[in-house]
Amino acid sequence: MRASYKKYVLDFKRPSGTSRGIMSQKETWFISLIDDERFGIGECGLLRGLSVDDRPDYENKLKWVCDNIALGPKVLLSNLNEFPSIQFGVEQAFLSLDARSPFLLFPSEFTNEEKPIDINGLIWMGNEQFMLSQIEHKLADGFSCIKLKIGAIDFEKELKLLSSIRSRFNKDEIEIRVDANGAFKIEEALDKLKVLATFDIHSIEQPIKPNNWRAMAQLCKQTPLPIALDEELIGIYDQTKKKQLLQTVQPQYIILKPSLIGGFSRAEEWISLAEQMKIKWWATSALESNIGLNAIAQWTFEKNNPMPQGLGTGGLFTNNFDCPLQVGQGQLFYRKGLSWPIQKIKELCI
């Protein structure tokens, strides 16, 4: 078996605002496996400024993986705990290699019968007019669940946006999720949650910065609207510490991003613990290309979670890979009549 890795830079159609600044490009890495006629590919969805493995020796670790690919997935993954995005890529690459098709990792009604996954429509941070325009488009496209990134513009302006939505649609017509990306100060967070709750918000992701377990636990206890942990899960590898976090904070939801938490097997550890504690969850992509998004979508469908998932990021880039994934009426479909340009992907990623 031969293994190789390659960097690929995704270009945003429009610079996109996050709590960590404006992004116009997003770097990703691919691990490719070739064994006789079989081909496998996995995406290491590194997210600069957020991934715990955003460190100088990242490429050296990719080289180590390829040099030691004969060790197999179990041994490789056990040696990659500090590199969760590479864990995700390695796990995906071996699943791809062993699959009937390199991009059919988890065959199901999603891939075989075009049964869709409900997803939320993502509203990017920006000025008031830009965010309002995005909301209008998502509603026109048939989304019944939207997610707003908040914390970048004036809080009062963000409340005006929420008021505008609620003046037209009640909570039974449009579900609103908000993501603060840790933007609220601890001392002001509860007051802001109380105001947000007046708009019938479904949930808020990461209201305060991670690693403030005591403060987050107090918020989750007092909050008038459900809190979802997101960045809080990043960098926690040990099963005991995962359990300790959930027991201490007792959130209403957790959000699983396989690229940031170590792939599917690590995500399933979180799910098992959460379900034991009656904590709900949903899955979200983290700006991967369609290769990584496809793997996450297929895995997510198998989990049979009825909530809208955060999987609508495939259309953000000008140079993404053509694929059978399509968004329509607030759902993600895998269209059987469309195919993957396997030869082109090999040329670009090997």
Is residue 138 within 8 A of residue 312, CB to CB? The reply is no
Q: How far is CA 283 from CA 16, 113, 136, 227, 261, in A?
A: 21, 22, 25, 15, 11
C-alpha to C-alpha distance for 90 and 84, rounded to whole angstroms: 10
* Catalytic option among 61, 138, 147, 257: 257
SS (H, E, C) 105-173: CCCCHHHHCCCCEEECEEECECCHHHHHHHHHHHHHCCCCEEEEECCCCCHHHHHHHHHHHHCCCCCCC
C-alpha to C-alpha distance for 42 and 31, rounded to whole angstroms: 5
* Catalytic option among 61, 138, 149, 192: 149
Q: Is the dihedral of CA 219, 221, 222, 227 positive or negative?
A: positive
How many Å from the N-terminal Cα to the C-terminal Cα in the chain?
Answer: 14
257 belongs to the catalytic site: yes
Amino acid letter, residue 79: N
Q: Is 257 exposed, middle or buried (0-12, 13-18, 19+ CB in 10 A)?
A: buried
149 belongs to the catalytic site: yes
Tokens found for residue 292 = 């990584």
As annotated, the active-site residues are 149, 257
